[in-house]
Every structure is written in C-alpha cells, then in structure tokens.
Chain A
Amino acid sequence: MAEQALRKAPLGGFNGGSAAAHVSAAAPATRLSLRAAPDAVAALSKALGLDLPTRPKTSASAKGQHALWLGPDEWLLIDEQGADLAAVAAKSGVLHSAVDVSHRNTAILVAGPKAAQAIASASPHDLSASAFPVGACARTVLGKIEVVIYRAGEQEYRVECWRSFSPYAFGVLAEGAEDAAH
C-alpha cells in the first residue's frame, strides 16, 4: 500500500505586496465549473443551498461557498471548506455539466486600502465601488493572462487564475501593490 500523496499548492508560501495592498496565496478550496441551461437554475440552486446568480457580474455566497456568474450558462463555484461540489450538484437531478477544477485554479487574495489600485496596474476592468461593488465578479484579463476577479469585501479581492499562471499573476499583483503604496 502506497503512502498517501501529499498536496503541493502552486503558490505555497507566496506572500507579498505592501501596506497599501497585501498579496497572498489563498488556502486550497474545492471548485466546480458548473454549466446549465436557465431551466435548471432553480433545482441546482436548491441542491446547492444558494441562489445561482443569473445577472452578469454578480455572485451569491453562503457559509464559505460562493457561486460566481461567469456567463449566461456558466458559474464558478468555490467552497472554502472543501465540499464535494459535484456530488451536491448531482443531487439536483437536472441536466447540467459539473467539472472539478479545484486544482486547475488557484487564488490570490489582494487586501488593503489600495487593493483595487494594485489590481488596476494590470487589469483594464473598472473596479470602483459603483461599477464593481462588493460581491461583483468578472472573468477578465490581468496583464497577459485570464483571471476571475471577485470582490469579497470593501478592500478585499480574490483573483482566480490557472495554476501555471499564478507566479506571473502574483508577480504582477505584487508589483502593482508596491506601486499602489506610492
């Protein structure tokens, strides 16, 4: 019997930024790429225990679980407690596609009074309170990569990217955070 393989996160220990914007690797979480037609939303919401958002750029959160609207039939589900999201979605009994992307994505947290400015060093997205209030989310670009930005709080953003892009994302955000301090 082989030893249980240990998990190694792509950004383990990354920590940086400035007093204006702290940049750090988020803890592992389970993630699901959920796809479904509009007629399945109600049943899936019931199974998941949160209302899947149906408006662009919005999200729903409950007890460490987040559902981010990415497209008209696409959501990124994140569970910080590590729930088996595919199994939960399967209970809905309606047609959908659930693909585990827990290891595909990794997340970087950007927090602090100038967090938005740190991200704006490389993202053309308008992150102001009016255009991107707490709870807003969008798939967009950060420098030369694709990311999902989720505004977790007034001064807190979660930047999700594919794992191999995460050192680049971290580098860009750390430089942006440094510049935001000045």
Chain B
Amino acid sequence: MSGANRIAGAGRLTPARTARFTFDGKSYEALEGDTVASALLANGVHLVGRSFKYHRPRGILSAGAEEPNALIDVERDAARKQPNVRATVQEVFDGATISSQNRWPSLAFDVGGINNLLSPFFAAGFYYKTFMWPKAAWEKFYEPRIRAAAGLGVAPTQADTDHYTNRFAHCDVLVVGAGVAGLSAALAAAETGARVILCDEQPEVGGALHYDKSVKIDGQDGFAWAQATAARLAAMDNVTVLTRTTAFGYYAQNFVVLAERVTEHLARPDRKLPRERMWQVRAKRVVLATGAIERHMVFANNDRPGVMLASAARTYLNHFGVAVGKKVGVYTANDSAYEAAFDLHRAGVRIAAIVDNRAKPGEGVLAEARSLGIEVLTGHSVIDTKGHRRVNSMTIARNGGGGKRTIAIDALIMSAGWTPSVHLFSQSRGKVAYNAETGQFLPGTYAQDCLSVGACNGTNGLQATVEEALAAGELMARATGSKAGGKVEIRAENAFEWTGGMAGAAEGAGANDNVKAFIDFQNDVCAKDIRLAVREGMHSIEHIKRFTTNGMATDQGKLSNIHGLAIAAETLGRDIPKVGLTTFRAPYTPVTYGTIINHSRGELFDPTRKTPMHAWEEAHGAVFEDVGQWKRAWYYPRAGETMHEAVSRECKTVRDVAGVFDASTLGKIEVVGPDAAEFLNLMYTNAWDTLKPGRCRYGIMLREDGYVYDDGVVGRIAEDRFHVTTTTGGAPRVMNHMEDYLQTEFPHLKVWLTSTTEQWAVIAVQGPKAREIIAPLVEGIDISNEAFPHMSVREGKICGVPTRLFRMSFTGETGFEVNVPADYGQAVWEAIWARAEPMGACAYGTETMHVLRAEKGYIIVGQDTDGTVTPFDAGVGWAVSKKKTDFVGIRGLKRPDLVAEGRKQLVGLKTKDPTVVLEEGAHIVADPNQPIPMKMLGHVTSSYWSSNCGHSIALALVAGGQARMGQTLYVPMPDRTIAVEVTDMVFIDKEGARLNG
C-alpha cells in the first residue's frame, strides 16, 4: 500500500498505479490521482507548514482550493519551480520535488517559532503601531527586516521555461462548477443546442460527490453518474468540458476568465503543451454552480496539525482511500460532520466522540450515530487541544460550565456549517443578501445575465438542487435563442438533509486575550484580534479587515470571512447584515503570471517593426536603436570605430560626398479628395491651397491650444491628392487627430485619409553627390536643379519600379527622398548603394541624421518641443499663415500666456570651450553663483559634437531666448559649471546654398 493510512477497498484510486515524490527531501509513495495532501496524509504526515506570523506548526485543513495552511513549493527543475501551491490542489506526479515553506532550518524545528512565544507583542495592528518611531528607522531598519521575514515561498530566480497560451472563447451558456448542480445545468442547456462551456477546478467533475458517497442519481452511484454525464457532454459538438480549470475572474458583460492547468499533474509533460492556458470567455448567459465551502469551528488551538474540516476528512477517505487518523474526534455545529463520522466509523476508524455545540442536532443523524454506537455530546464545546506537531488530545466541556474532560485523539474533524461560494457572483457586481434563518450571505440582486444554482445559492436538498439547476440551464439557453431538445429529468437522492451551522467563536474560544482561536489560519488572525480591532475603534468591516489582515491572505478569507464578521457584529452589538461583507475580488484563487501574460513573452511580447531595408542594414553592421516599436539603423560603425567616431565620419561624409539613409518609418498619410487642400488648411498652420501640384511644403500642426503637435513635409501630388509625412512616433496619433476633425468637425469636406506609412519604403539620398548617385536610376523625371528644385515632388520610375521622388532635405544638403513600394525597398536601396559606395558616400543612421539636422537648426517635435511650445517659441513662426481665418490652434495661439513676454524660445548654444558637449536636459541659468535652488531659464533640448563645425552644438529652450543672442549663460553640472553663448539655431550654411545646389 502506498502509505500506512491507506484503507484497502476505500477510495477511487487504483492501488497498482503508484508514483514517487519527495517532501522536504524524504521520498514517499503515492497513487496516481493523489493530491500532495492526500499522499502525505496516507503516509501519516500531518505537519506540512508553518504559519505566517507565529510560525506555528500547521497541517492540512481542507481538501480543496480553500486551503489556507498547506502551502508548498513544487519543483520540476531550477527554472520550473513554483511557491505557494496548495497541497490540496496540486496532484502528485512521479518525480515531483515538494518542499514546505516558511521554516528555518527545518519544518520540525523552526527558529521563527519564537514568534509564537512572543505573540502577545504581535497583536492586530502591531505593524501600524510598533514601527512608527523613530520615523527614520522605518526605511533603514524596520522595513527591510519585515520584508526579509515576510512572504511565504521563495520565487525562482531563473526564467520560466514553460509556455502558456490563451484562447478567447464565445458561448451561449457558461456553467461554472461541475458538481451535481453544474452538470445538471450544463446538460439542460446543452440539450437545447446552445453553445455550452462547463468548467471545474478539480481534475474530475463531481464536486461534493467526491466525498458524499450516499448520493444516488438515476439509480447510479453519484460520482459515477457525474463522470458519465461529463463524458456525455464532452461528446456533444456544442459543449466544451474543461476540468482543472478555475474561473477566477468575473468581469463586465459576462466576461469570465478561466485558468486551465494543462500539464501541472503530468510527470513528463509534452513540451509542446502549455503549462497553463487562459480562457477569456464571453458568455451570453452564465450559470454559477460554485457550491459551498465548509467552515471550521473557532476554539482555542484549533490550528494544530490533524485538525481539519469534516468534509475534507470524508474526501480523503471516500475519494483517496486515506484515513486521517485512527482515533478521531468530531467537533461540530452542523449535521454534515456526522456523516463524515459515519463513513470513518464504517471504514474502521474509531470515533472518539462527536462534540456538538448545539443542543439539538438533526434527528436523523443523531439516531444514526446512536445506532452505530458513537458517543454524541450535545451542548458541548471543545475548549482546547494539545499536541505539538500533531493534535493528541481535545479538552471538552459542557456549554455553560462543567463536564470538563480530556480525550486522546490523533485527528479532530470539524464543521461549523457551509458558506455558499458567492465570490464570482459578487465579482459580477451582484449584491449579496443576508439570510438570517440560515446565517448565509446569498445572491441577492443580480447585476448581469447570470443565475446561481445549488449550494452557492443556498439551496438545500439534492433533488431541489437538481431541479433548480435543470430549470436554470434550460432557461438561460432558451434566452439565447436555442430551440432544440426537450426537458431533461434527473432523479437524485441522498442519506440525510443537513441542518445547523454557526458563525463566530463557539463557547470555549474564550474572551481571554491569550487564547488563540484562529479564524484566519494563513494570516494568523484570532477571534481576539477582531475584538481588539473593534475596541481600537474600527467599526467598518473594511477597516477591521485591514487592521487585523483577516481575509487578506492568498486564500482571501474563504474560511474566515464569515467568522470574522460574526465576531465583529457581536462585539459591535450590531446585526451581521448591518456590519456588511467585504468585497470579493478577482482572482478567486491565485493565478500565475505566466498564465496572465501567456503568449506575450520574448519576441511576442511586443511587435518589433522592421523596415524593408532592415536585412541589408543588419548585414552592413548597423547598430539599431528602438524608436517606439521600430528598429532603426542608429549608426554604421566600421571595424574598430566607436559610436562617436562612426557618427563623426558619417556626418562629414554626408556633407562632403553624400549619404544614404533609411527614412521608411516616417508616418505617411494620403489625403485625397476635392477638398483636400481646404482640409489641410484647417489642420496645419500653413496655407496649402497656394501649393502647386509637384511642390512640397514644410507644415506645422498644432493642437487647439496652440502648441506644436507634429510637423512634416507635405507634397501635392495632384490637385486632389497630397502626400503628407509625419514624425515616426506621431504617425498613428496624427492620423487619429486628422480623422477626428474630419469626421466630427468638418464632415462636410469631401476628402479621405489613408495611412500609407508602410506602403512606401523611403530612401533619403543626401549630399553634394546625391543627384549624381540617383540620376542614372531614375526614369521619366528631369531631376536637374532647374526642373526639380528643392521642395518638389514627381512621380516616375526608379530601377524600373514606380516612385514618388521628393526633392527635400533634413540635412541642409541637396537631397532626395526616394519613395518606392515597400517590397522594392531593399532592391532599390542596393541599386543606389551600388552607385553611392564607389563615390565615397556612406550609409548613415539616425544619430547622424540628428546631428546634421541640428547643425541646420531643424527641430524635432518631441525632442526640441514638449507640448508647451508654440511655433513662435520654436522659431518656425514663419510657417503660421497670417491670412487664414481658421486652422486648428488659431485661437489657442492668441491666449494671453502664449503671447506674453519672456516665453521660453528655442535658440542655439555654443559652449565657450568648443570641445565640451552639453548634456541634453541640463538646466540653464543666468548666474551660476546664486544660491540653490537656482532660477532656471530653460534647458538643453538637443546637443551633439559637430565634426562639420569643429565644435559642439546645442539647441535649448531659454526664457526670452531671442532677446539673449550673444549673451553668456551657464549650465551648472554636479562637477563643474559650463559657460555657453546664446546663438542663432543655424550653425551651417545659413544662406542655404548647399540646399539649393
């Protein structure tokens, strides 16, 4: 047998199919289908972790996703290692390496356990109060120490080698939870022909049928019925059944996100399979069949290993064939624990006693207990337990005093009743309502097209659940227009209907402030902490939650919320609904980052955009820079060259000979229609109706507030057709800006916009030899200076393919920009290069482009402007038409602040020491000896070494800059102060002779 506590003939696992795993270095045998928790229990291991704050020994409390204690680290290899996995959810696979957490040096002997002895000092609110003084110590002393001590698991340091995927899915009806209710609802919905998705977090469907062996459905064993029904559903074309799949978030308009664990349970998963798959489901209707979670009893030292939920003990027995002890105590306020006792008793486990906090248990279960010879103590409480690494006794007493007695046990199972799982309902923005009769918060007002069925809806009785679910499934499916099928009928029966339940601390939890009666195991919150919080003045449940951290652990208080609320209500002397429930938030259970980002890793993290000439540039040694998503050739270093040397060489070569530059990333918009010029008149400060076809103009675009938004050269291809260029980064927003005005302010204009950024590859050929380089390649265009002057555009052919050839320049040299359909870009580039290279021209990158334009004082929007700069500030006021009566920004430009004296204006700067290159962003002051903080006049926007000038050059925004020509200003730096002279922005060829050559 795999484990001494495995009971022959019990459970649903196959004894022959074993798997080995290690826990804290020790090897254990498990059965296929075991969870880590069931396998450890089978091997008699109850101590599996240490608590967060007090480092108390902890065991396995539950058999499901609500587990607060048994958090483990699961490791396949150094890169595939995950902390904080719930042992009750993780399936064992052969070769798994499992470790406990939050202990040092070992689980059995943990130094941090000193916190348990010091616990009087760690009361609720301890952090807020203790670490406030002295203030300076927070950052240097307290905070690093708290951080080092905090946290449960340890994150892996290597990159995750698993992959994760995503699917968007659409369905008519999504059913969450595949217990009796969920399966019934899914079946009823599926029979109508509706598209159905059914998901369940467990490896197998069945929900409560995992433990409730008494259920018979349509004459069959309940669990077997569930498997058969799931198989029947999965075989239908219109149904998707997803197991190991947690619906963790319920968002607006029935958008529900699921996490499917695809390979977590496999020993040697196919590496092609994702580890997890995220499902983003848009459902027309949702049926929530999320069941209920059993609550623990609140009493002194209720957290010892071996103390667990009754339903969990029943699951371990009936599903996994594992007895949680040999002599088991039962403490309950609800009938359900009796059935656990009966099952254990029948399996040969001795039941020490059933201690029932109630005076009157359900009659059926009481009679059955008596007939089985199990001692039942009604009106009693467990008031204490003993046992360090595992519970070994419970002390009980009669409610109201007397009858104190200590009973030896090796496990204690408990039930305070059931909490409906309204988490997803609450996430959907539905409002819960308190049912005073059952003491449950239940779905009240729905906010979305969904219905709750079964235990999560507070429905009692198996047949009632089935009927409610069938009706809901069909109703929801019909609402989506599904018409097929008839009525589905299911007959279900079980042994007992359960009564009872309590919330809050039972008698014996004690008002004594030293008693540790836990309500939140993971965050070590006790009943006394809630009382303290109320005494300290916290009256809102949200404040109590944050003060005590109740419900703030990774289990989000699935067990503790109701207890905490009941104790708060009692202490406050208010009714439970008046105190209110905290808000449930996604995710329902923790979700890995891998699942959330899924495909968006590595190359698919973000698109990398490359120009048509990229491969050539790469082959010719270009270093690339990222410009948004684009990769742009930055500079082309030759062997042994530094960046500075390469750029200096490129700059000189362009002005001395010529250079070839990839300008393909520039935004391009085709503006077509009879009103195209009128539209551009409104979008730019310039006048466009006066531009003749075949000519170009530099345009400035403003926002309505008068600030520069974008710039670029616009060519008029025909009366009704313009070729607009934008900055690389501005392309999408300029297009959106133009569409906005066209559609909503000027819809009367007959003009259309089309983005052509990627239609054209753009090859800039600049320099004295530019014309000579392209001349033999061009057909059908006279490119002489006379026929094709600066700022012209022609259509023709180059290298046999169509081109829009621009005569324009961003360098101040004679220049051409060859636009060709993008697929021809590389071939035309190569043809141009074949002519350019022998002439001594170079390929140049964006850095050289920046230097060359700065030498000419050409601005870059976004570098020399920052969203608060007008065309007049930027020295391009000449581009603002004085004749037009309207354009976007015309009124903004007249705002008092924009016409005031002393605005920051763009000027040139020359350092007194010509070799010093200023730092971009550096501040500029008039008097470097003034006290700090100095009065800032402006800042450097662009700064380069200019090999053509033989000195450094800079552009800067300086208050009243135009009036400061020739003045000496200062740039204070940490190590020195740099003196600069304010100059004109144009450093080379002020007359423009080179441009027009």
B672 contacts A168, C-beta separation under 8 Å: no
The answer to whether the Cβ of B827 comes within 8 Å of any Cβ in the partner chain is: yes
Report the bound CA distance from A8 to B262 in whole Å: 41
CB distance from A156 to the nearest CB of B (A): 19
The answer to whether the Cβ of B612 comes within 8 Å of any Cβ in the partner chain is: yes
Report the bound CA distance from A122 to B754 in whole Å: 26
A3-B799, A4-B800, A5-B827 in contact; A99/B607 too (CB < 8 A)? Answer: no
B827 contacts A7, C-beta separation under 8 Å: yes
Which parts of A93-132 form the interface with B (CB within 8 Å)? 95, 97-105, 117, 120-126, 128, 131
A3 contacts B599, C-beta separation under 8 Å: no
CB distance from B487 to the nearest CB of A (A): 25
Mask for A161-181, Cβ within 8 A of B = 1, else 0? 011110110011001101101
The answer to whether the Cβ of B83 comes within 8 Å of any Cβ in the partner chain is: no
A104 contacts B801, C-beta separation under 8 Å: no
CB distance from A89 to the nearest CB of B (A): 12
The winner among A123, A144, A165, A179 for most chain B CB atoms within 10 A is A179
Report the bound CA distance from A42 to B828 in whole Å: 40
B826 contacts A97, C-beta separation under 8 Å: no
CB distance from A170 to the nearest CB of B (A): 10
A104 contacts B170, C-beta separation under 8 Å: no
A8-B827, A99-B754, A144-B606 in contact; A175/B165 too (CB < 8 A)? Answer: yes
On chain B, the residues within 8 Å of A8 by CB distance are 612, 823-827
The answer to whether the Cβ of B117 comes within 8 Å of any Cβ in the partner chain is: no
Report the bound CA distance from A144 to B511 in whole Å: 57
A103 contacts B752, C-beta separation under 8 Å: no
A5-B827, A179-B165 in contact; A101/B756 too (CB < 8 A)? Answer: yes
A97 contacts B673, C-beta separation under 8 Å: yes
A126 contacts B799, C-beta separation under 8 Å: no
A168 contacts B608, C-beta separation under 8 Å: yes
A128 contacts B799, C-beta separation under 8 Å: no
A97-B672, A143-B599, A167-B608 in contact; A121/B166 too (CB < 8 A)? Answer: yes
The answer to whether the Cβ of A58 comes within 8 Å of any Cβ in the partner chain is: no
Q: How many B residues touch A, CB cutoff 8 Å?
A: 57
On chain A, the residues within 8 Å of B273 by CB distance are 182
A3-B800, A8-B827, A179-B277 in contact; A73/B822 too (CB < 8 A)? Answer: no
Mask for B607-621, Cβ within 8 A of A = 1, else 0? 111111000000000
B673 contacts A9, C-beta separation under 8 Å: no
A5 contacts B672, C-beta separation under 8 Å: no
Which residue of the partner chain A has the closest CB to B629?
A: A164
CB distance from A25 to the nearest CB of B (A): 12
A3-B799, A163-B758, A175-B599 in contact; A104/B752 too (CB < 8 A)? Answer: no
The answer to whether the Cβ of B436 comes within 8 Å of any Cβ in the partner chain is: no
On chain B, the residues within 8 Å of A122 by CB distance are 166, 168, 599
A124-B168, A128-B170, A167-B608 in contact; A5/B754 too (CB < 8 A)? Answer: no
B609 contacts A2, C-beta separation under 8 Å: no
A103 contacts B272, C-beta separation under 8 Å: no
Report the bound CA distance from A167 to B799 in whole Å: 27
A35-B752, A126-B282 in contact; A3/B831 too (CB < 8 A)? Answer: yes
B822 contacts A163, C-beta separation under 8 Å: yes
On chain A, the residues within 8 Å of B603 by CB distance are 167-168, 171
Report the bound CA distance from A143 to B195 in whole Å: 25
Mask for A1-37, Cβ within 8 A of B = 1, else 0? 1111111111000000000000000001000010101
Report the bound CA distance from A171 to B600 in whole Å: 11
Which parts of B350-379 form the interface with A (CB within 8 Å)? none
On chain B, the residues within 8 Å of A131 by CB distance are 170
A103 contacts B759, C-beta separation under 8 Å: yes
Which residue of the partner chain A has the closest CB to B615?
A: A8
Mask for B275-311, Cβ within 8 A of A = 1, else 0? 0010010100000000000000000000000000000
B800 contacts A2, C-beta separation under 8 Å: yes
On chain A, the residues within 8 Å of B823 by CB distance are 7-10, 28, 103
Report the bound CA distance from A97 to B753 in whole Å: 9
The answer to whether the Cβ of B877 comes within 8 Å of any Cβ in the partner chain is: no
On chain B, the residues within 8 Å of A5 by CB distance are 798-801, 820, 824, 827-828, 831
The answer to whether the Cβ of A87 comes within 8 Å of any Cβ in the partner chain is: no
Mask for A57-93, Cβ within 8 A of B = 1, else 0? 0000000000000000100000000000000000000
A100 contacts B599, C-beta separation under 8 Å: no
On chain A, the residues within 8 Å of B755 by CB distance are 104
Out of B606, B608, B751, B758, name the residue touching A103 (CB < 8 Å): B758
A143 contacts B801, C-beta separation under 8 Å: no
Which residue of the partner chain B has the closest CB to A123?
A: B168
The answer to whether the Cβ of B407 comes within 8 Å of any Cβ in the partner chain is: no
CB distance from B484 to the nearest CB of A (A): 14
Which residue of the partner chain B has the closest CB to A175?
A: B599
Which parts of B570-625 form the interface with A (CB within 8 Å)? 599-600, 603-604, 606-612
On chain A, the residues within 8 Å of B674 by CB distance are 95
Mask for B146-179, Cβ within 8 A of A = 1, else 0? 0000000000000000000111111000000000
On chain A, the residues within 8 Å of B282 by CB distance are 124, 126
B758 contacts A2, C-beta separation under 8 Å: no
Report the bound CA distance from A18 to B826 in whole Å: 32
Report the bound CA distance from A35 to B674 in whole Å: 13
A73 contacts B759, C-beta separation under 8 Å: no
A97-B752, A126-B282 in contact; A121/B599 too (CB < 8 A)? Answer: yes
CB distance from B161 to the nearest CB of A (A): 16
The winner among B611, B777, B823 for most chain A CB atoms within 10 A is B823
On chain A, the residues within 8 Å of B272 by CB distance are 178, 181-182
On chain A, the residues within 8 Å of B825 by CB distance are 8
A95-B674, A178-B272 in contact; A144/B754 too (CB < 8 A)? Answer: no
The winner among A8, A10, A100, A164 for most chain B CB atoms within 10 A is A164
Could you show 22 A-B contacts with beta carbons less than 8 Å apart?
A: A6-B827, A33-B754, A37-B750, A95-B673, A98-B672, A99-B670, A100-B821, A103-B758, A103-B759, A120-B167, A121-B168, A122-B168, A124-B280, A128-B170, A131-B170, A164-B609, A164-B629, A164-B758, A168-B607, A176-B599, A179-B165, A179-B274
Residue ranges of A at the interface with B (Cβ–Cβ < 8 Å): 1-10, 28, 33, 35, 37, 73, 95, 97-105, 117, 120-126, 128, 131, 143-145, 162-165, 167-168, 171-172, 175-176, 178-179, 181-182
